[in-house]
Amino acid sequence: MEPSNFPTIFSIIEDEIDLNDLLAQITLTSTGAAAIFTGMVRGETLRRGSAQALRGAAHETEYLEYEAYIPMAEAKMKQVADEIRAKWTSIEGIAIVQRIGKLYPKTPTVLIACTAAHRDTGVFEAARYGIDRLKEIVPIWKKEVSPDGQFWVEGDYIPKAGE
């Protein structure tokens, strides 16, 4: 299979993220390794290393509500995939999927998966790069709803010209 035909999935979805299905979609006969990152909704933020803080006030989240500027988000996911392929030419398949809507603790919200023939050709680094870039340039936002009220989570990255 020619590199130009390597599978690339980039999608904003409302249903569950199906890791088995997505992995199968980016597995070729030449594929021997996959690195997959998933993010989940945290229901509580533990403060490690301090039993007192832990007993005191673990921050609680009831749910997160995600929204996206869907057509631009999918185009930027495609761009992230293109950036990955430019940096790691060994990558075969790429899946970048963000789930939106009301998502409760322990639910996977995002997936970045990269496949290659072997594990030592950049799959881990590529998946890491993918989630970092998604959090920088893909127009998705989340509002946290907790017992203390609700507030929009804001990132801190300002895209540069051409991004």
Interface residues with another protein (CB under 8 A) are 39, 66-69, 71-73, 75, 98, 109-110, 131, 134-143, 152-161, 163
Choose among a copy of itself, another protein, none what residue 104 binds, the Cβ cut-off being 5 to 8 Å by kind.
none
Contact (Cβ atoms closer than 8 angstroms) between residue 81 and residue 44? no
Contact (Cβ atoms closer than 8 angstroms) between residue 117 and residue 90? yes
Choose among a copy of itself, another protein, none what residue 137 binds, the Cβ cut-off being 5 to 8 Å by kind.
another protein
**Minimum CB–partner distance for residue 75 and another protein (Å):** 6
Nearest to 118 by CA among 107, 109, 126: 126
**Minimum CB–partner distance for residue 24 and a copy of itself (Å):** 7
> With respect to another protein, which residue has the nearer C-beta, 77 or 91?
77
Choose among another protein, a copy of itself, none what residue 18 binds, the Cβ cut-off being 5 to 8 Å by kind.
a copy of itself
> With respect to another protein, which residue has the nearer C-beta, 51 or 161?
161
**Minimum CB–partner distance for residue 62 and another protein (Å):** 17
Contact (Cβ atoms closer than 8 angstroms) between residue 29 and residue 99? no
Rg, Å, the chain Cα set: 17
**Minimum CB–partner distance for residue 162 and a copy of itself (Å):** 26
β partners of residue 13: 99
- Report the C-alpha dihedral over residues 46, 47, 51, 57, rounded to 10 degrees: -70
Choose among another protein, a copy of itself, none what residue 142 binds, the Cβ cut-off being 5 to 8 Å by kind.
another protein
Nearest to 94 by CA among 135, 34, 40: 34
Instruction: Kindly list the residues in this chain that would bind a copy of itself in the complex (CB under 8 A).
Output: 18-20, 23-24, 27-46, 48, 90, 105-106, 108, 117, 119, 123-124, 127-128, 131
CA angle 25, 31, 36 (to 5 degrees): 60
Tokens of 161: 């010209």
